[in-house]
Amino acid sequence: MDSIRKRARELLEKNTVKVVIGYGVGSDNTVRAIFVRRPEGVEELIFDETCVQNLAVYLLKNEIKQIGKLCIIANISALRTILQLASEHQIHEEELLCLSVTPNGELLEFTGFKDIENYISSCNRDLPDKESEMIKKLEKMSVDERWQFWMNHLSRCIKCYACRSACPMCYCTRCQVEYNQPQWITVEATLMGNFEWQITRTMHLAGRCVNCGECARACPEDIPINLLNYKTVLTVKEKYNISAGTNANIDSVMSSFESDDKENFIR
Amino acid sequence: MNIENKLLKLSSLEGLVLKLNQDGKQVFAPVKKDNIVNFAPVSAFHEMTQDYIVTARSAKFVVFPRVETILEMQFSKDNITLKDKDLSSIPDAVLLGTRPCDAAGFKVLTSIFEGDYIDNIYVTRLKKTTIISISCNNYDAKCFCTSVNVHPGGTAGSDILLTRIDNDNFLAEIVTEKGKEIVNKFDTLFDIAPDVNKDSLVANVPVEFDLSAILGKIYPRFESDIWVEQSLRCIGCGTCAYVCPTCGCFDIQDVSDGHNGQRKRSWDSCGFDLFTLHSSGHNPRNTQSKRWRQRILHKFVYVPEQDNILGCVGCGRCSRACSVDMNLKEHLINLIGELTK
Amino acid sequence: MEKPRIGVYVCWCGTNIAKMVDVEAVAEEIKNVPNVVVSRNYKYMCSDPGQDMIINDIKEFKLNRIVVSACSPRIHEITFRKTLKKAELNPYLFQMANIREHDSWVHTDRAEATKKAKALVTAAINRINYHEPLKELSVDINPATLIIGGGISGITAALEIADADKKVYMIEKSNKLGGYTADIDLTYPHLSSVQQMLGPMIERMKKNKNIDLFLETEIKEITGYIGNFETIITPKNDNETKLSFGNIVVSIGLRSWDPSPLENYGYGKFPDVITSVEFEKMLLSGNIAKKDGSIPKNIAIIHCVGSRNKNYHEYCSRTCCTVALKYANQLRSAFPNASIYELFADMRTMSKGCEELYTITSRKKVVFMMFDQENDLPGIRKANINDNCEMIIELNEKRSRKFVEVPADMVILMVAMEGREMVKEVAQITGVSLDGNKLFIEKHPKLDPVATTTSGVYTVGSCQGPKSIPDSVSQARAAVARILGTIARGTAQVAGTTAHININICCGCQMCISVCPYSAISFDAEKNVSVINEILCQGCGTCVALCRPNAIDIWGCSNRQMTAELTALLLSD
Amino acid sequence: MSDFQPKIVAFVCTWCTYAGADLAGTSRIKYEPNVKIIRFPCTGRIDYMFLIKAFANGADGVIVSGCHPNDCHYVSGNFHARRRWIVFRELVDFLGMDVNRLCFSWVSAAEGAQWAKIVNSFTEEIRQLGPYKAYMELVKKDKNESVF
């Protein structure tokens, strides 16, 4: 923690960066994002295992970008997001500076995307155990049971789009859900509309999701929508051996192909 | 009408819910499912949970559903037939277990839906809904009703207000004619009220800020940096508006399969960037700070000025639901600090 | 957008549609669909009176959308688009419902077929509400032509174009020109020398300054579109060369089939069982002899080896019957006393002068015997020591219904012609489809037999289907006529059905750029958006389906149109 | 259930499967009338949302068909489509949709008989499965007056 504060202070004092996006203490002893712009503000910065929010979501926010060069205190999810966003040409190396802390408390300062790639390649990118087990459990269910499971959950969805807003990869200028010519997705927060929305959201994140879980954390109705993305993460990993957010220069899974992609269902 | 006090035994509530259902009324009460408490249809009282401060979502859905078909169209060759919503199809409903803040919220919604334009669907729904609230005997860190002039034992907006006297008994305050109708219909369930001091039975929610420091003083700070400062963290989702008991913004969409069509009204949020996007491409509220400012101003400036009612009831739902900790109470206190600088 | 005024025309196609679909009922019911102003049915919509009906209605009823419910749009979409043009209506304000190939011809229940027709037409109508007038783009034509394959078709095409003073790039995989024709001794039916005919043509090829010849060269990739193709080749002993050209002629011919799998003929087992191609070389060398050098006394020619045979090639290789007759004649001249047998399944001598050759041959002491190609092929066994011949062919003679043993010292197998080994690669490179027999598919089997579905690419000669020299030459000249016409015009129209980007919505992720097979999308770094080159875009729509914010849509197959078609199709079902 | 006539929509590319279906027609091969074709330039164009919209509009089954690998008129559209199908199919299966109601196939312009075979067998499969009640339930709920 001290090393982060020290480095953040230096960066702000030397005007190397204009703002440090990091974690601070929120209401009721929770953790929340803070935006430090003055050297003395660095004392508010914290970093520990409770700092789970994927702060990369703020990198594309206009009012934050306008402040000037950014420094982000990035957890693994955020680092992977940065690589994925870079591969999609949304952020550029010179625009930001990444700090992180290893599990044994060592401060990391990344000089570029290549540096992040190297670090990420050594990190655990597996899905959380709880979710992995839940996916396995769902896969073992019958189709009808799975359908019931999701209908029960999706019936609660109020289409607040917190899942979309919290996702750092959902940066589209205009979400497909906003189209009404044609009305791709039933507007209303009805079961069908919610179902269609989740299919769209997951498909759009296929091969791009870095399994940060922000979507489910943001959901005010506690719908485990991250399972959908995680399932797709597994599919992509299994079929194409690709994990999103590991390389700043590769084509996305859905915009590339191998002429011998394997499947067993096409007649 | 003068408020009439009665006694309602906890044991009678089972019968009340049953009878209300038998009477053809749809009864909604807080139900705990997957650890979230929300209003849901109940056929028996025991389905209702007692373990809640407020529900996650507000009760506004009964009068302002998250989706509502407000008009139907039928296309035939060279002709379109329009059919207004059949108001008689709206069912009688009873809301049981709303909090005084929820009930107060309906007043705000009414000021919106019965403002310049009278929205008959809303009016009918509200007319057909009986609100049986339960006073708060508990609160949490996100509650700030008393700071916005709502009382945990307040009757405003309720038809009947129940206040827990002890384990087995409620004080039932019959606030409106609609409430009285219920009592008259099921009079065997109600007894004569004992003499109790209601104030001692409800939670003592501390006043956290001085409302008068805000009211009438925000607008001059329209261009202040504080809006940017406060909203940097906001990710622009619609959660706060969707859980809010007083947010009445909606979107209207026409859907059709070429033969039949519906005009549907669904919840919307001023927090979305598309909310104010013009067809020209211009967006007057093109940044999150402007949209955050709108949210605060709507509740604390525009509604009070236009309708003489405060747009926030201090239920704290927005702060509880927010995934990035946009704590409204904290922001209001912080705003007062800025205003008094 | 002006309010749609739709005219719907349900075609009978004589009895082709009307027999299975109640076209009158369809036309009647369609009248009730919103925006339909006129709904008619007529015997042949594609006929002049049919087209005139549309033109008159457009004028009289101020129609601004036309739906024709008839055959496949792959056949008559272009016809009717031209009709619209004549009536000064944008040709893209048109949609066809296929109620023939996809309905009347494949169903047996009239009520069901009629119901399906209604659904298909209703869907087309609902979709056309969202059609927009599109502009066709004009592209300049590079006057050079690439010819792939230097057989008789390719040579003919090359000389014809070069003679018109236009550039030709001839790519030939082998080290010489002439293809299979170069290995032929005499042609049928007049037994004239191929070498006398082909030799001078090849000489002209080599001398013509308009022809750049690349022998022992293969094509790996072609980029671009009609008028503006490009390729990079690496000729043998030479540097990489970039070629630009406006049209492509594919003339890669066919190869002869290896008859080893037909074990009953013993090819590879008996030294004197040879293929027609091997025999032709023998003729060319002027020395007809058995493997041991001796003269054959009994010679049998077996037809349809691997052709017209479901297990190998279902099609007829078309030239072999007459070639076999030619062999009998040449053999008779060489060996006046030899016994010559023609073992055939059916004698097919359809070209000019060929039946006459059959008659002439039959008077030359040639024994003709027929076998059952489908169920009972002849078999060859080694002869006994006292049989006085090398081999015995056993067959059940079909006409006499007798079992016959034919003595043979040499057996010539008239082998099938089939697609070359690299035909799939060539098809892929040129963007032309192959049929199940690995033959190139023409744009229209009757009305456009040399063009392909890819504009600017023509397929001529045997690779389109086995054919004789005159047929190959005719095709080559037909393709050249088309190409020279395009070059003379200087421009070609390319379809307006291209993708387009709404730059206000594009978020600059550049995934569309990754998927575009034509490099038609580039990135505007200043505006941070993708930009589509409409001329390069071929309208496949892969980028459309990939674009998450729906910034890309495609003219003529827009999301709005397709969903309108879909909903109406399902709801009217 | 045997008299149940399934509604099936087929999204096909114009170069291969549409042409193959044309060939089935010119060859007068008879098949079931339940499948109705919508023509796209390429399988690469077929957004998975069309499949979802088909079910939303009452389809009991959906066919998606195009050129065999390496035979795409547009070089690689079918390869991109295939990736999309693989991910999409896994996802909707995980969501509890019945993937037996989705038929993906490669049918070339030369395979008229193959097209007829696919139509017939898939129609029969859907007939056995019956109407897609689970999805219809969604649609019905969607048409409900208002949602609480």
Q: What are the pLDDT digits (tens) for C186-219?
A: 999 999 999 999 999 999 999 999 999 999 999 9
CA-wise closest residue to B244 among B112, B138, B115, B129: B112
Alpha-helix residue ranges (DSSP H) falling in chain B = 10-22, 100-113, 120-127, 177-185, 226-231, 239-243, 288-297, 303-307, 317-321, 328-339
Contact B66 D145 (CB under 8 A): no
Contact B258 C567 (CB under 8 A): yes
- The whole-angstrom separation of Cα B108 and Cα B247 is 9
Query: Is A261 part of a structural domain of the chain?
Result: no
Residues of chain A with Cβ-Cβ distance to D54 below 8 Å are none
Chain B contact residues (CB < 8 Å to D): 28, 39, 41, 61-62, 65-69, 89, 257, 262
* Percent helix, strand and coil across chain C, each to the nearest 5: 35, 25, 40
**pLDDT at D148 (0 to 100):** 55
- Which residue type occupies B305? E
The answer on C430 and C413 residing in a single domain is no
- The whole-angstrom separation of Cα C6 and Cα C33 is 10
Chains meeting B at 3+ CB pairs closer than 8 A? A, C, D
Interface mutation vs chain A, best among C540, C550, C553, C562, most A CBs within 10 Å: C550
C4 to chain B: nearest residue by CA? B78
Residues of chain C with Cβ-Cβ distance to B281 below 8 Å are 504
- Contact of B260 with chain A, judged by CB distance below 8 Å, is answered with no
The answer on A28 and A112 residing in a single domain is yes
The distance of D57 to chain B (nearest Cα, Å) reads 9
Residues of chain C with Cβ-Cβ distance to A184 below 8 Å are 550, 559, 563
The answer on A69 and A40 residing in a single domain is yes
Interface of C with D in 100-129 (CB under 8 A): 100-103, 105-109, 112-113, 115-116, 119-120, 123
CA-wise closest residue to C393 among C365, C413, C374: C413
Residue in A62, A165, A183 nearest the CB of B235: A165
Select from A121, A156, A189 the last residue of a domain. A121
- Contact of C509 with chain A, judged by CB distance below 8 Å, is answered with yes
Contact D36 C116 (CB under 8 A): yes
Contact A30 B242 (CB under 8 A): no
Give chain D's domains with CATH numbers. 8-142 (3.40.50)
Output the CA–CA distances (angstroms, integers) from residue C96 to C76, C120, D66, in the order listed: 9, 9, 20
Contact D93 A143 (CB under 8 A): yes
Domain total in chain C: 4
Query: Is A192 part of a structural domain of the chain?
Result: yes
Question: Across chain B, what does the average pLDDT equal?
Answer: 93
- Contact of C510 with chain A, judged by CB distance below 8 Å, is answered with yes
Residue in C32, C36, C571 nearest the CB of B258: C571
- Which residue type occupies A241? N
Contact A259 D147 (CB under 8 A): no
Q: Is the peptide bond before B30 cis (omega within 30 degrees of 0)?
A: no
The distance of C457 to chain A (nearest Cα, Å) reads 25
**pLDDT at D108 (0 to 100):** 92
Query: In C216-309, where do the E strands start and end?
Result: 222-225, 228-233, 241-245, 247-250, 254-256, 273-275, 298-305
Contact D148 B89 (CB under 8 A): no
Residue in D57, D143, D146 nearest the CB of B65: D146
The distance of B41 to chain D (nearest Cα, Å) reads 9
The distance of B286 to chain C (nearest Cα, Å) reads 14
Query: Is A168 part of a structural domain of the chain?
Result: yes
> The domain that contains C543 carries what CATH number?
3.30.70.20
The answer on A238 and A141 residing in a single domain is yes
Contact C32 B77 (CB under 8 A): yes
Select from C417, C449, C467 the last residue of a domain. C417
The answer on C401 and C306 residing in a single domain is yes
SS3 A91: coil
The whole domain housing A16 covers 2-121
pLDDT 10s digits, A185-238: 887 888 899 999 999 999 999 999 999 999 999 999 899 999 999 999 999 999
pLDDT 10s digits, A54-63: 999 999 999 9
SS3 C46: coil
- The whole-angstrom separation of Cα C44 and Cα C12 is 6
**pLDDT at B259 (0 to 100):** 80
Contact C517 D116 (CB under 8 A): no
Contact B67 D146 (CB under 8 A): yes
The answer on A114 and A76 residing in a single domain is yes
Interface predicted TM-score (ipTM): 0.90
**pLDDT at D1 (0 to 100):** 46
**pLDDT at D72 (0 to 100):** 86
**pLDDT at B201 (0 to 100):** 93
pTM of the entire predicted model? 0.84
Residue in B237, B266, B327 nearest the CB of A27: B327
Select from A121, A150, A181 the last residue of a domain. A121
Domain total in chain A: 2
Interface of B with A in 126-145 (CB under 8 A): 141-142
The distance of B78 to chain C (nearest Cα, Å) reads 6
Contact D106 A144 (CB under 8 A): no
Tens of pLDDT along chain C (573 residues) come to: 689 999 999 999 999 999 999 999 999 999 999 899 999 999 999 999 999 999 999 999 999 999 999 999 999 999 999 999 999 999 999 999 999 999 999 999 999 999 999 999 999 999 999 999 999 888 999 999 999 999 999 999 999 999 999 999 999 999 999 999 999 999 999 999 999 999 999 999 999 999 999 999 999 989 888 899 999 999 888 889 999 999 999 999 999 999 999 999 999 999 999 999 999 999 999 999 999 999 999 999 999 999 999 899 999 999 999 999 999 999 999 999 999 999 999 999 988 999 999 999 999 999 999 999 999 999 999 999 889 999 999 999 999 999 999 999 999 999 999 999 999 899 888 888 787 789 998 887 777 899 987 889 999 999 999 999 999 999 999 999 999 999 999 999 888 899 999 999 999 999 999 999 888 899 999 999 999 988 888 899 999 999 999 999 999 999 999 999 999 999 876
Interface mutation vs chain C, best among D18, D22, D49, D118, most C CBs within 10 Å: D22
D141 to chain B: nearest residue by CA? B67
Chains meeting D at 3+ CB pairs closer than 8 A? A, B, C
Contact B67 D147 (CB under 8 A): yes
SS3 B105: helix
The answer on C81 and C225 residing in a single domain is no
Query: Is C567 part of a structural domain of the chain?
Result: no
- Residue C186, Cβ neighbours under 10 Å: how many? 19
The whole domain housing C362 covers 256-417
The answer on C159 and C223 residing in a single domain is yes
- Contact of D148 with chain B, judged by CB distance below 8 Å, is answered with yes
Q: Are strands C186-187 and C192-193 parallel, antiparallel or unpaired?
A: antiparallel
Query: pLDDT grade, residue A259 (50/70/90)?
Result: confident
> The domain that contains C371 carries what CATH number?
3.50.50.60
- The whole-angstrom separation of Cα B59 and Cα B39 is 7
> The domain that contains A136 carries what CATH number?
1.10.1060
Residue with tokens 């304000």: C93
**pLDDT at C436 (0 to 100):** 75
Contact D110 C437 (CB under 8 A): yes
Select from C133, C160, C192 the last residue of a domain. C133
Contact D145 B89 (CB under 8 A): yes
- Predicted confidence (pLDDT) at residue D146 exceeds the cutoff of 70: no
The answer on A97 and A153 residing in a single domain is no
Query: Is C249 part of a structural domain of the chain?
Result: yes
- The whole-angstrom separation of Cα C106 and Cα C121 is 17
The answer on C298 and C399 residing in a single domain is yes
The answer on C158 and C30 residing in a single domain is no
Contact B36 A221 (CB under 8 A): yes
- The whole-angstrom separation of Cα C173 and Cα C233 is 12
Question: Across chain A, what does the average pLDDT equal?
Answer: 93
The answer on A217 and A158 residing in a single domain is yes
Q: Burial code of C230-254, b = ≥16 C-beta within 10 A, e = fewer?
A: ebebebeeeeeeebebbbbbbbbbb
pLDDT 10s digits, B295-326: 999 999 999 999 899 999 999 999 999 999 99
- Contact of C568 with chain A, judged by CB distance below 8 Å, is answered with no
The answer on A235 and A137 residing in a single domain is yes
- Residue A25, Cβ neighbours under 10 Å: how many? 15
Chains meeting C at 3+ CB pairs closer than 8 A? A, B, D
Select from A90, A121, A152 the last residue of a domain. A121
Written as one string, the DSSP assignment of chain D is -TT----EEEEEETTTHHHHHHHHHHTT----TTEEEEEES-GGG--HHHHHHHHHTT-SEEEEEEPPTT--TTSSHHHHHHHHHHHHHHHHHHTT--GGGEEEEE--TT-HHHHHHHHHHHHHHHHHH-S-HHHHHHHHHHHSSEE-
Residues of chain B with Cβ-Cβ distance to A33 below 8 Å are 232-233, 324
Contact A251 C560 (CB under 8 A): no
- The whole-angstrom separation of Cα B288 and Cα B294 is 10
Residues of chain D with Cβ-Cβ distance to A199 below 8 Å are 48, 52, 91-92, 95
The answer on C407 and C265 residing in a single domain is yes
The answer on C504 and C470 residing in a single domain is no
The answer on C99 and C228 residing in a single domain is no
Q: Burial code of C343-359, b = ≥16 C-beta within 10 A, e = fewer?
A: bbbebbbebeebeebbe
- Contact of B252 with chain A, judged by CB distance below 8 Å, is answered with no
> The domain that contains C53 carries what CATH number?
3.40.50
Contact C454 D73 (CB under 8 A): yes
Say if CB C243 and CB C169 are below 8 A apart.
Answer: yes
The answer on A95 and A20 residing in a single domain is yes
Contact C32 B78 (CB under 8 A): no
Contact C551 A251 (CB under 8 A): no
Query: Is A213 part of a structural domain of the chain?
Result: yes
Contact D58 C571 (CB under 8 A): yes
The answer on C386 and C280 residing in a single domain is yes
The answer on A170 and A70 residing in a single domain is no
